Amino acid sequence: MKRLFVLQTMLLVAVFAYGQKLYVGNDDRTYCRDMESIARKIVSIPDIDGYLTLKGDFHMHTVFADAEVSASGRVREAWFDGLDIIAMTEHVGVHKNEGIHITDYNLPNKLAIKAGKKYGLLVVPGMEITRTKPFGHINALFIKDCNGFEENRYLLDEKGNLLRDKDGKRIPNRATEMSDFEKAEAQGAFMMWNHPGWPDGKSTLYPLHKKLIEEGRIDAIELFNGMDVYPRVLDWYDTYKVPMMANSDIHTPSSCMYGRTLRPMTLVFAKERTIESVREAMFAGRILALYSNTLAGDADLIKQIIEKSLQIRVIDEKNGKIEVTNISDIQFEALFDNPQKIVTFYPRSAVQYKIPQGTELDFKNCLAGRKSVKIKIW
C-alpha cells in the first residue's frame, strides 16, 4: 500500500509538472519550458536561376555608439529574424551611451563576425561616415579598417571645446568629409548613401551627390530606411540606375520595431553563400530593396522573383480559371483588364482567379523606378 501511495504521488507530481510545463528535478531548481528560445523565422523568398537569394540588412548600430543592443546581440536578432547576412555600420565619433567609449572602431565588426560564425550568419565589416547635410550619412561596406577616420564631426577650439556659430549651433567639420569618403574608397568599400531625406524630410539631390553618382562612386541608395520610405530615390533610379537598398538602421531591439513582421531587407543574388560572392553581387548591382511587401530595383530581377514565387495550376483553360500558389512571404498585388480588376497573391497561400491565358498583370507593388513591373504569369 505504501509503495502504491508513493507511485501515485510521483504520478501526480509528473502530471502537474507537465501541465505547468516545468521539468521537476528537486525543490531547489526547476526549468520553465515557456522560457525556451523561440525558433528562427524562415523567410521564404525563392532563389532565381544561377543565384542564391540572400536576405540582408546592411545598416545596423550597437551600444558602442548610440543604440541599445550589443554587436553579438545584433547577430542573434538577425538570425532569429531570418536574415542570411548583415553589416555592422557603427558611427565614427558618436559616443552617446554613458560609460562606453571605444577607440578601436573595428571592435563591433570583430565581435559581430565572431558571433556570426556561431550562428552561420555572414557579417560584412562596415562603418558609417556621419556628417550633417549636404554630405549626409554614407555607409562604407566591406571595409578593411575602420580606424584612421575623423573622430571629430564638428570643429573644436584649441582647448578641445566645440565651436559654435552666432546662433549657437555646432560648426560641421567640412574639411574631412570627402577625405573620409576617399579613404573608404581606397579600401575598396561599397559606398551606400543612407536615408537621403533625413533629418529634414527633404530628399535633395545635392550637387555633391549628383557628381559622385555620375562618377560611379555611390554604389547604392537607401529607398527604405527603418520605417521611412524616400520615393524620390525611385526618380534617381530612373535617371541613374543606381541600385536601391532596404535596411533597418536599427537602434532599438528588433522585437520592439518589427515583432513577427518582416523587417526591411536587401535581397542579394549571390553565386555562393560567402562574403566574397556577396561583394561581387552587390558591386554587379544584383540587389533588390524589399519592405512592406514592396520590391524595388531591376525589372528583370523582380520578374524572376515573381515567376519563381507564383506556381500556376490550370483548372479551366477555356475560361481562364487558374489556381495560383504563392510560395513566398511577399504579398503580390496586381491589376489587369479594363475596367481594371485587382488580384492579390497572399504569402504562402493559394487563390483561384479567372485570368485569361496571356494576360499581362501589372504588379503595383513591384517597382522598377517609378514604373511598376508587368508580366504574364501563364
pLDDT in tens, 154-196: 888 888 888 998 888 888 889 999 999 999 999 999 999 999 9
Considering the domain architecture, whether residues 109 and 255 belong to the same structural domain is answered as: yes
Percent residues over pLDDT 90 in the chain: 77
Range of the domain at 21: 2-35
Task: Convert the pLDDT of each residue in 216-241 to its tens digit.
Answer: 999 999 999 999 999 999 999 999 99
Q: Which three cell numbers stand for residue 33?
A: 519550458
- Identify whether residues 180 and 287 lie together within a single domain: yes
* Number of CB atoms found within 10 A of residue 139's CB: 29
Decide if 77 is inside a domain. Answer: yes
DSSP 252: S
Specify whether 205 is located in the same domain as 253: yes
| 97 and 201 assigned to the same domain | yes
Whether residue 246 sits in one domain with residue 203: yes
pLDDT band (50, 70, 90) for residue 2 = low
Number of domains observed in the structure of the chain: 3
Looking at the structure, tell me whether residues 105 and 132 fall in a common domain: yes
257 in the same domain as 118? yes
Mean model confidence pLDDT for the chain: 92
Q: CA–CA separation, 368 vs 98, rounded Å? A: 44
Give the C-alpha separation, 342 to 361, whole Å: 10
The kind and range of the H/E element at 21 are none
Q: Which residues, 6 or more positions from 337, have their beta carbon under 8 angstroms from its beta carbon?
A: 359
SS3 159: coil
What's residue 260's pLDDT? 76
Same domain, 105 and 140: yes
Q: Does residue 72 belong to any structural domain of this protein?
A: yes
Rg (CA), the chain: 25
Task: Report pLDDT digits (tens) over 15-58.
Answer: 455 555 555 556 787 777 776 667 899 999 999 999 999 999 99
Which residue is it, cell 543565384? 51
Asked if residue 254 belongs to a domain, the reply is yes
301 part of a folded domain: no
Hey, what amino acid is at 182? E
Grid coordinates belonging to 312: 500556376
217 and 117 in one domain?
yes
44 falls within a domain: no
